[in-house]
Chains A and B, each alone.
Chain A
Amino acid sequence: MRLLIGLLLSFMVAAAIGLGSTWYALTQNLAFGPLALGAWTAYPRNGTVGVDPYAHAAIVRNGELPVGVGDGIAFTATTDDAGHLLDGRCDLRLRGTTPPARYFTVTLYSPAGRLVANSLDRYGFTSQELIRDPNGEFEIIASPRARSGNWLPTGGIDSYVLMMRFYDTSLGIATRAGREAPMPLLQLENCR
């Protein structure tokens, strides 16, 4: 009887720990080898055969097709530089320059990876569309209400994800953080 209860206890602990930690790993994005530049994070290895098992499981579970390393690199931001979650009811100032690449795109998604509906059908910017300052810097304002300049509508959703993808770039697995890859700063303000 004791043996039975012991075994049962063991199996319960095993199931709870095993499945709980698996669920946690898949939802918290525990991939190895992140390239973090400010609020932006990329996983260059996800676009290679060297993708780690955690990242691979998460990619398959979400049904994504990662950007291949010979194509480009994808950076994701879910918070601003101060660590506040990106909230569609606030204004987000995205300002600065980018690492060298032939083209880049900035896109706003819901956390599930859908585009966010808005009256302009504006879901992001390409590097060719941006209005820039004379010094080459640019500023995008993601906001629920219309703005002059580079306005990216948020649709007022609770939380969103920004992705910057760089195509035909030298950025990749060998990139170390810092000066060689200046990413735009993110600042959340005017929350309502």
Chain B
Amino acid sequence: MIRWLAWIAGGLVMGGIVHLAAILILPRTATRDAYARLSALAPVNGFAVLPIPTPDVSSVPFMDPAFATAVCRYDLASGPIKLTVPVSQAYTSVTFYTRYDVAYYAINDRAAGRRSIELDLMTTKQREDLPDDEEVTAADRLIVESPSATGLIVARAFSPEPSLLAAATATLAAAQCRPA
């Protein structure tokens, strides 16, 4: 009897290990995550405007229908990316996601100021390799470090009422992300 209980207890411990391993490994094995879903729509190092969500079509679940959305799938392997997102009338934000859909940085038009959100995206290694001249460290050049070499940049422009959605979409059509 004791022997069987020992086997079951061993099974429970192994079950716990299986559970933890599954939770930690799952993000790396999922094939229908946001990055995979958007890979078909977004080019590498270029923005694509996503269709406005409808009951039949939604690029990712739980999209906010009051926003126009554009996605850039970046790849820093060949160097840093320069990002320019024009600011729309109401509210514009840019969110950075790693390859595994972790939102590591987000900025909105108020924090960025001016007429467009402009910044440089690079890996930690690429930032270390930057020459230490003053122009580079100038305050007007915002640098964001990406924890992964690939990922997603998602620009969102708010439309306070449905009639302004076309204007918000047009603003995002001018967004750029390309090698610096």
Q: Is A19 an interface residue (CB 8 A)?
A: yes
One of B13-21, B125-133, B134-142 contacting the partner: B13-21
For B147, give its contact among A10, A49, A105, A124 (CB under 8 Å): A49
For B55, give its contact among A69, A114, A168 (CB under 8 Å): A114
Contact with B along A1-42 (1 / 0, CB 8 A): 010001101111111111101100110000000000000000
Q: Shortest Cβ distance from B9 into chain A, in angstroms?
A: 9
Q: Is A63 an interface residue (CB 8 A)?
A: yes
The answer to whether A10 and B30 have CB atoms under 8 Å apart is no
For B58, give its contact among A25, A70, A113 (CB under 8 Å): A113
A-B contact pairs, 14 of them (CB 8 A): A2-B3, A10-B11, A19-B19, A60-B27, A62-B61, A66-B103, A69-B106, A70-B95, A70-B106, A71-B108, A102-B91, A103-B158, A109-B62, A113-B60
Q: A70-B108, A168-B91 are in contact. List 6 more A-B contacts (CB 8 A).
A: A18-B18, A48-B104, A67-B103, A72-B93, A114-B58, A167-B91
Residues on the A chain within 8 Å of B7, using CB: 6-7, 9-10, 13
The answer to whether B54 and A18 have CB atoms under 8 Å apart is no
One of B31-39, B76-84, B169-177 contacting the partner: B31-39
Q: Is A129 an interface residue (CB 8 A)?
A: yes
Q: Is the interface of A mostly helix, strand, loop or mixed?
A: mixed
Contact with B along A80-121 (1 / 0, CB 8 A): 000000000000000000000011010101001111110000
Q: Shortest Cβ distance from B42 into chain A, in angstroms?
A: 12
Residues on the B chain within 8 Å of A48, using CB: 103-104
Residues on the A chain within 8 Å of B96, using CB: 68
B interface list, Cβ under 8 A from A: 3-4, 7-8, 10-19, 21-24, 26-27, 30, 32-34, 36-37, 53-56, 58, 60-62, 64-66, 90-91, 93, 95-97, 100-108, 110-111, 147, 152, 154, 156, 158-161
7 A-B pairs with the lowest CB-CB distances in the bound complex, closest first: A18-B18, A113-B61, A68-B106, A13-B11, A17-B15, A70-B106, A14-B14
We find that the number of chain A residues with CB closer than 8 angstroms to chain B is 63
Residues on the B chain within 8 Å of A7, using CB: 7
Q: Shortest Cβ distance from A68 into chain B, in angstroms?
A: 3
The answer to whether B160 and A65 have CB atoms under 8 Å apart is no
A interface list, Cβ under 8 A from B: 2, 6-7, 9-19, 21-22, 25-26, 46-49, 51, 53-54, 56-57, 59-72, 74, 102-103, 105, 107, 109, 112-117, 123-124, 126-129, 163, 165, 167-168
Residue among B33, B61, B111, B158 facing the most chain A CB atoms (10 A cut-off): B61
Q: Shortest Cβ distance from B103 into chain A, in angstroms?
A: 4
The answer to whether A19 and B18 have CB atoms under 8 Å apart is yes
Residues on the A chain within 8 Å of B152, using CB: 65
For B62, give its contact among A17, A57, A64, A70 (CB under 8 Å): A64
CA distance A122 to B113 in the complex (A): 32
Residues on the B chain within 8 Å of A102, using CB: 91, 110
The answer to whether B103 and A22 have CB atoms under 8 Å apart is no
